[in-house]
Amino acid sequence: MAEVKPDYTLDMRGEVCPVPDVETRRKLKTMKSGEILEVLIDYPLSKERIPANAPKEGGEVLSIEETGPSEWRIVIKKK
């Protein structure tokens, strides 16, 4: 699969819940359909909460990948 190029990147590394989740949802609200948001996190609970809550703002989680020790990249597409 080709690398998805995000339209926006939210670097939430160093932030703990609920900040990454709240900021992701806030950003999704402002995005247009088809746009891609990349969220960088290093807080394990965010890895559960962001994918669980993204659909509430019209987001579809395309991928969750581990980018390092306790670091993840979540890619969300606005429907």
Please give the positions annotated as active site.
17
CA distance 10 to 26: 11
- Residue at token pair 């994918």: 51
Tokens representing residue 21 in the block: 């989740």
